């Protein structure tokens, strides 16, 4: 079976391509900057569907992992171009190329009325790829809704490592907003998510339907503060909890001031409506 992984050079993509190969698939990895087997930019408008369709010739399954980070502060139009219009172009190209199955990776907790443009563009793509939408797409469409991924090379772990390094160097404790802060996550290890998505790509989902969503979550529900505190304490960095009323201004401030270790636009991520 030949699988094309769009976004195959990213954090999840590298694990997924390795897992698919381990399970015997022929894997083609594509990305924007050309680090994979193929290069494609899902925002390039001229002939995109035709270019993608040619790339998909002979491919059985397409997995679309292309996405923009919710905490790097892209514009609303950039999120829409990549995560909505790009996703629809990929689905249309897959349909035109005779691809049997599309696995379109989305995120848990996204909603089209969400405050975060990242989440809105993801939710729009999900709606457009599921019935009753008539958008062109392959006969089988599976939409995994991923919780926050954990792993050494993940964005959150990298940010916290940098922060822990600074804290250790200057010998200070890290203020952490109270764990009761409302946005909750069910983090899942990137290896586990890759295994689950590889299974969906290679075997489908039961009696395949035109569209089905599958939640991919870890065993524990945690706030971002609890995730940060666990990670920092495990790296021998003392933390202290801030009173609850300081949480919104702190998150607002950290989202706008470039501090070493803290992802910018943290508030975008925390604007996801429910457990993600």
> Where along the sequence are the contacts to ligand NAP (CB under 6 A)?
7, 9-13, 31-33, 35, 40-43, 65-67, 69, 82, 105, 107, 146, 148-149
Return the number of the residue (28 or 167) whose C-beta is nearest ligand NAP.
28
Tell me the residue number closest to ligand NAP, measured at CB: 10
* Phi-psi region at 69: left, alpha or beta (left = phi > 0; alpha = psi -120 to 50): beta
Task: Kindly report the backbone phi and psi dihedral angles of residue 107, in degrees, each rounded to the nearest multiple of 5, phi listed first.
Answer: -125, 145
23 Cβ neighbours under 8 A, 6+ residues apart: 198, 202
Nearer to ligand NAP, 101 or 126 (CB): 126
CA angle 267, 271, 272 (to 5 degrees): 135
Report in angstroms how near the CB of residue 134 gets to ligand NAP at its nearest: 24
* Nearer to ligand NAP among residue 6 and residue 254 (C-beta): 6
Nearer Cβ to ligand NAP, position 41 or 233? 41
- Count CB-CB contacts under 10 A for residue 167: 21
Which CB atom, from 173 or from 221, has the smaller least distance to ligand NAP? 221
Please identify, using beta-carbon distances, which residue of 197 and 229 lies nearer to ligand NAP. 197
To ligand NAP, the closest distance from the beta carbon of 60 in angstroms equals 21
- Rounded least distance, CB 190 to ligand NAP, Å: 8
Nearest approach in angstroms of CB 19 to ligand NAP is 13
User: From the CB of 104, what's the least distance to ligand NAP, in Å?
Assistant: 9
Closest by CA to 4, choosing from 32, 25, 33, 35, is: 25
* Closest CB 148 distance from ligand NAP, rounded Å: 5
Long-range contacts of 227-236 (CB under 8 A, 24+ apart): 227/148, 227/156, 227/185, 227/187, 228/160, 228/174, 228/176, 229/176, 229/179, 231/156, 231/157, 231/160, 231/164, 232/160, 232/163, 232/164, 232/167, 232/174, 232/176, 235/160, 235/161, 235/164, 236/168
């Amino acid at each position: 079976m030949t699988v094309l992984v769009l976004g195959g050079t990213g954090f999840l993509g590298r694990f997924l391509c390795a897992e698919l190969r381990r399970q015997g698939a022929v894997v083609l990895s594509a990305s924007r900057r050309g680090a994979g087997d193929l290069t494609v930019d899902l925002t390039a408008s001229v002939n995109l569907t035709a270019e993608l369709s040619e790339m998909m010739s002979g491919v059985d399954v397409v997995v679309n992992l292309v996405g923009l980070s919710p905490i790097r502060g892209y514009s609303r139009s950039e999120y829409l171009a990549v995560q909505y219009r790009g996703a629809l172009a990929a689905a249309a190209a897959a349909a035109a190329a005779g691809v049997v199955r599309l696995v379109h990776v989305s995120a848990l907790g996204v909603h089209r009325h969400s405050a975060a443009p990242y989440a809105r563009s993801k939710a729009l793509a999900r709606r457009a790829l599921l019935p009753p939408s008539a958008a062109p797409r392959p006969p089988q469409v599976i939409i995994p809704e991923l919780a926050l991924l954990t792993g050494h090379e993940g964005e959150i772990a990298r940010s916290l490592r940098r922060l822990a390094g600074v804290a250790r160097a200057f010998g200070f404790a890290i203020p952490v907003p109270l764990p009761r802060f409302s946005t909750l996550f069910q983090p899942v290890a990137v290896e586990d998510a890759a295994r689950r998505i590889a299974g969906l790509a290679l075997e489908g989902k039961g009696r395949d339907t035109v569209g089905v969503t599958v939640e991919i979550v870890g065993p524990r529900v945690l706030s971002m503060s609890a995730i940060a505190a666990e990670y920092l304490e495990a790296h021998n960095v003392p933390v202290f909890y801030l009173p609850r009323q300081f949480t919104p201004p702190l998150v607002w401030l950290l989202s706008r001031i470039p501090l070493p270790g803290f992802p910018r636009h943290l508030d975008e991520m925390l604007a996801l409506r429910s457990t993600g």
